[in-house]
Amino acid sequence: MAAKKPDNPYYQGPVSDHFDGMRFFVPGGEAPGNLASLLKWQFREKRHKWPKSYPSPFHGTVPEPRVEGSRMVVTMIGHASLLIQTAGVNILTDPVWSNRVSPVQFAGPKRVNPPGVKLEDLPQIDILVVTHNHYDHMDSASLRTIIKAHDPLVVTPLGNDTIMRKFAPKARFAVMDWGDALETHGLRIHAEMSYHWSARGTGDRRMALWAAFVFDTPAGKIYHIGDTGFHDGSHYRAIAEKHGKIRLAILPIGAYEPRWFMKGQHQNPQEAVGGFKLCGAEYAVGHHWGTFQLTNEAIHHPVDHLCEALMEAAIEPARFRALRPGETAEIPSVGK
């Protein structure tokens, strides 16, 4: 008799305060909407129309091979794909170069601008971070190409390695639970909680973990969130308490309408500014907007609403920038 397959195909491990033996969850968090809610959103809510093309004036950037010393540079590729360079280390997050974020390339959300950096213009990638398994963050074609060309250390939460091994069997993985830390390339990397979820299809909801990350570098700490809801901001407070001074927060500002459906897993720009204040970061970069239409807000709304929120909070716009594909931000040293 054949052995029974495990109910969770991605991860088998002990029950914890955020894993029930089958699915991961956020203690006190809000579960993603069900099918009825999804249908209500799709058929009853008005969606702003995006332009078919929204080109970036910064397209075609060729990043520096390395950024040394106390300098810290972030280059937007598009959506949640960013190149982080500091202390001689190159970190790439959630790489998506494909034309669509979907299980197939003939349907699904389509790019309205090309990646800000061409694949062949990437510098040597040392660390590749995949925050969770949604298609706009885990793109098999891009990951396969980058892993083959660069052989980076792939840092990802529990269960996601199982998915990626199917299309990148030779990849080197560091698999992390919330609260774990590892040392590599002269950095200390911490996996932390975020209010989100995971799925690649209809039958694997929350079977792989999602996470935010703190990179403790010689040039300062970087707090990176791929996706999160805001809730009461407790996770931002926890970061400030645990990690102290943050030089840079990289925060999602898009994919937030309608609020009744999205608020549990996607913060809006006003909430992103609130999180920026609560975690005590000196500077922030906004991402997750302006490349793929996933939700109902207009393409320019995240930036418009970010500007309004910064003004209301009396925060200088230069401290929290929403980057376009190919745009580079040189992060000032803390205290300057």
Q: What is the mean pLDDT of residues 217-225?
A: 98
The CATH code belonging to domain 50-330 is 3.60.15.10
Report DSSP letters for 82-142, one per residue: EEEEETTEEEEES---SSBSSSSSSSS-B-SS--SS-GGGPPPPSEEE----STTT--HHH
3-state secondary structure of 198: coil
Tell me which long-range contacts 301-305 makes (C-beta under 8 A, separation of at least 24).
Answer: 301/48, 301/257, 302/253, 302/254, 302/256, 302/269, 303/253, 305/253, 305/268, 305/269, 305/270
Q: pLDDT band at residue 28, thresholds of 50, 70 and 90? A: confident
Q: What is the mean pLDDT of residues 102-108?
A: 84
Give residue 94's pLDDT. 98
3-state secondary structure of 35: helix
Give the least confident one: 26-30, 84-88, 245-249: 26-30
Give residue 251's pLDDT. 98
